[in-house]
Amino acid sequence: EPEVTQTPSHQVTQMGQEVILRCVPISNHLYFYWYRQILGQKVEFLVSFYNNEISEKSEIFDDQFSVERPDGSNFTLKIRSTKLEDSAMYFCASSDGAYSYEQYFGPGTRLTVT
Amino acid sequence: GEDVEQSLFLSVREGDSSVINCTYTDSSSTYLYWYKQEPGAGLQLLTYIFSNMDMKQDQRLTVLLNKKDKHLSLRIADTQTGDSAIYFCAAKSTTSGTYKYIFGTGTRLKVLA
């Protein structure tokens, strides 16, 4: 069964450093998403992406964040200058259409900022 | 804004039924979901219900939707120790023309042997 994959599973970085979290969505999917979950808190929407541009972003997704689909298979989330409060689990998701009933979630990347 | 609320904890004995409740605010949510998250793992879709349905049953899982009260519940029959996990309710938000999910806080289910 096709699945969304994410790498790395755990990333440790120092405050102020740039990180790139990588996702490989399901191959025929067209809509891509990033969510994050701070430990013990809700899963929060960050951004949705379609047709090589951002469809919607939340208040969390400020200028420090960017997303890219650098090739036909990867979908990345970049945090330019990490802060302690960026420590969270980051989930990538994809769906085959805006009207699809399901977004398929990856296993997540745990980001720890020290 | 849109919000989804759940109780934080539920403890049941093995073999009993578990009922996890959720309320949501966006009356235009077309789909409502239940996800399961085991420790250190991602989000696993358990089941979903379309907003024009009142009930959906899938093996041990029963989802009830009261659209008037914006209340969703997940019943797990014959709860097993392997059902211990965090259960997230999510609503598919259709505002702004995009389709993001709004998640609840998650309910931590503990099954006692």
CB A76 within 8 A of CB A22: yes
Can you tell me the mean pLDDT for B12-23?
97
Lowest average pLDDT, out of A22-31, A81-90, B33-42, B89-98, goes to B89-98
- Edge-to-edge strands, sheet with A65-68: A5-7, A19-24, A75-79, A65-68
| Chain B residues within an 8 Å CB radius of A107 | 41-42
- pLDDT value at A15 more than 70: yes
Q: E strands, A5-99, where?
A: 5-7, 10-13, 19-24, 31-37, 43-50, 53-57, 65-68, 75-79, 88-95
**8 Å CB contact of A43 and B99:** no
User: How does residue B31 score in pLDDT terms, banded at 50, 70 and 90?
Assistant: confident
| Chain A residues within an 8 Å CB radius of B33 | 102
> Alpha-carbon distance B38 to B71, whole Å?
24
Tell me: the pLDDT tens digits for B41-96? 778 889 999 888 999 999 999 999 999 999 999 999 999 999 999 999 999 876 65
**8 Å CB contact of B104 and A42:** yes
| Chain B residues within an 8 Å CB radius of A105 | 35, 42-43, 45
> Alpha-carbon distance B86 to B88, whole Å?
7
User: Would an 8 Å CB–CB cutoff place A54 in contact with chain B?
Assistant: no
Give me Rg for the CA atoms of chain B.
14
Rounded to the nearest integer, the mean pLDDT of chain B is 90
Instruction: For residue B78, give both structure tokens.
Output: 């014959």
User: How does residue A106 score in pLDDT terms, banded at 50, 70 and 90?
Assistant: very high
The total of other beta-carbon atoms located within 10 Å of residue B92's CB is 22
Tell me: the pLDDT tens digits for A51-83? 999 988 998 999 999 999 988 889 999 999 999
> Alpha-carbon distance B61 to B77, whole Å?
7
| Chain B interface disruption, residue of A33, A36, A59, A101, most B CBs within 10 A | A101
**8 Å CB contact of B102 and A108:** no
| Chain B residues within an 8 Å CB radius of A44 | 103
User: How does residue B97 score in pLDDT terms, banded at 50, 70 and 90?
Assistant: low
Of B43, B98, B100, the CB nearest to A91: B43
Question: What confidence score (pLDDT) does residue B112 get?
Answer: 94
